[in-house]
A and B are shown apart, each in its own frame.
Chain A
């Protein structure tokens, strides 16, 4: 039987740990939300809801091992809810993702993602993020903004690691095309000016 003091310590550390997690992750969560939702106020609300939901979860007697992944998981679900509410997802974007069977690219690995990313300008890619379909955007942000590994992302979005890698790969590819298109447009603009 644990001593009373231990019980109190546990209660203390739960509150302490929660607030520590807030300090540690609130900025990153906000950034993630803001990139995906593109609405500052709503993003703050979503982060707020994330923390209150996690707190309720703790109150109901659950223990949280890793705050980071748990917070991201809740945040991600809330962002998806947000999309459902907004229903802004374009049909094109949906088709672009769903039209391909991601499972048919088993050769894709972290290496190929690195190879692809290496060819891109990060700043331009970031600017073009919002043009990507949500499912691509999600993984890119998790991977490059939040710095999560494919395994973590897979757990979060409840897909296989492979699917995550394929998505990242395709997302980067899509970004490269968009960057190239942008470059071409700029080139032709310059030419016409001349």
Chain B
């Protein structure tokens, strides 16, 4: 009994010793950070030395499932720090993904706030210098309009959203203008070029929205946005008065960079644009090249003013082309001709004049025939008087055209003026005599189109020609 008691005491004492000893040893421990670091080291060793994949037992059918299961199994065995790291990476991927997806968002979408409030603001902070800011604000304006157009096409453009977009358009154009004003204080040349950037965008967007609404084919009206655009353009016009032509070297540099960009964009749109569109754009770029050559010639003749004017025009057209190419929805509602009318070469202009004169000759012959064949009693006196005047004047203009077209150096603008005059007069005369019907319509349309283009583009400031254009329109209207 006593022995038993002694043994028990001994056992208790032994237990105490173990406990004391153990307790003391437990003061030695890995700190949390040491343990975490150690685990990271061990796990990274495991990652660099993974277990060999035992795929010998896999058959083809189950291989796919097996891979998925294996990956899942790996996740399960991951330690928490690794899961955290992966989660962190996922968050980054997700953020980039969200930001990327947001780019396609339109007002009303969940991600729209990310697009406007995060993506675009981020880019705004990246824009250094006033010129870049103008470019970026213009781009934002383009984006707002593209969104509105998309919504309107889908019938989702509510009044609230349109107000919102119109407001954003106003804000962006105001911001751009503010920057232009800032630029004017430091660099007038840059300011002018920046304002070309904004104005061309406003112009292209207005035209495109107007066309879209006029076509009446799809979606809702964007009248409010057009109004805001119009207001902004008006402000632009009033402030453009004191704009001066930028210095030649700066213009040359800008034209160079912008045309390069336009060529790059043409490469870029090859996949999305139709062959016809590509040909049209290429044609405009060729026109631009010719204008640049012309400007160089001016500059060599020491005609700096003409050279600069020509380059400003080049810059405007290049910008328009760029807006056209970068906005696929703009391309859908307008043709490149509306944005950048073709500039005809001298040969083309001569060809048109020749075609026109041959048409005029035919018409004159027809009128003459009709007059000879019809007794003058049968024609109203007033009408007859008009017909005679028209016939004579047209014949005289035609004669002048034919005389001048062979003179060297050729004054193509004057020749075009006479030719168009002759054509319009005899066209109206023929209409009075109801001869028009005998002329094939397609042929006429061709002439009208070409003559319209040439007058608009070639002689925009020429009062005489613009009257002629009007005459053409009147003639067509009369006939209709």
Would you call A121 an interface residue if the criterion is a C-beta within 8 Å of the partner chain's C-beta atoms? yes
Q: List the A side residues contacting B50 at CB < 8 Å.
A: 59
Would you call B474 an interface residue if the criterion is a C-beta within 8 Å of the partner chain's C-beta atoms? no
Q: How far is the CA of A2 from the CA of B38 in the complex (A)?
A: 36
Q: List the B side residues contacting A47 at CB < 8 Å.
A: 38
B49 x A22 contact (CB < 8 A): no
Q: List the B side residues contacting A30 at CB < 8 Å.
A: 28-30
Q: List the A side residues contacting B365 at CB < 8 Å.
A: none
Q: How far is the CA of A1 from the CA of B66 in the complex (A)?
A: 16
Would you call A85 an interface residue if the criterion is a C-beta within 8 Å of the partner chain's C-beta atoms? no
Would you call B97 an interface residue if the criterion is a C-beta within 8 Å of the partner chain's C-beta atoms? no
Judged by DSSP, the binding face of A is helix
Residue-wise interface mask of A (5-16) relative to B, using a CB-CB cutoff of 8 A (1 in contact, 0 not): 101111110111
Judged by DSSP, the binding face of B is helix
4 more A-B residue pairs beyond the given contacts A22-B39, A48-B38, A125-B17, with a C-beta to C-beta distance below 8 A: A52-B45, A120-B17, A123-B21, A144-B17
Partner of A8, one of B12, B30, B42, B73: B73
Q: How far is the CA of A41 from the CA of B251 in the complex (A)?
A: 69
A122 x B77 contact (CB < 8 A): no
Partner of B23, one of A11, A34, A120, A122: A122
Would you call A67 an interface residue if the criterion is a C-beta within 8 Å of the partner chain's C-beta atoms? no
Q: List the A side residues contacting B16 at CB < 8 Å.
A: 118, 122
Question: Which of B52-60, B266-274, B401-409 contacts the other chain?
Answer: B52-60
A15 x B25 contact (CB < 8 A): no
Residue-wise interface mask of B (174-200) relative to A, using a CB-CB cutoff of 8 A (1 in contact, 0 not): 000000000000000000000000000
B70 x A22 contact (CB < 8 A): no
Residue from A12, A123, A127, A141 with most neighbouring chain B CB atoms (10 Å): A12
Within 8 A of A (CB), among B1-26: 9-14, 16-26
B73 x A35 contact (CB < 8 A): no
Partner of B73, one of A11, A144, A145: A11
Q: How far is the CA of A26 from the CA of B36 in the complex (A)?
A: 11
Would you call B128 an interface residue if the criterion is a C-beta within 8 Å of the partner chain's C-beta atoms? no
B11 x A145 contact (CB < 8 A): no
Would you call A4 an interface residue if the criterion is a C-beta within 8 Å of the partner chain's C-beta atoms? yes
Would you call A94 an interface residue if the criterion is a C-beta within 8 Å of the partner chain's C-beta atoms? no
Partner of B46, one of A1, A10, A35, A55: A55
Q: List the B side residues contacting A18 at CB < 8 Å.
A: 46
Report 14 cross-chain contacts, Cβ distance below 8 Å, ordered by A residue.
A4-B57, A16-B77, A26-B30, A26-B35, A31-B26, A48-B41, A114-B10, A115-B14, A119-B13, A122-B17, A126-B24, A126-B25, A144-B18, A144-B25
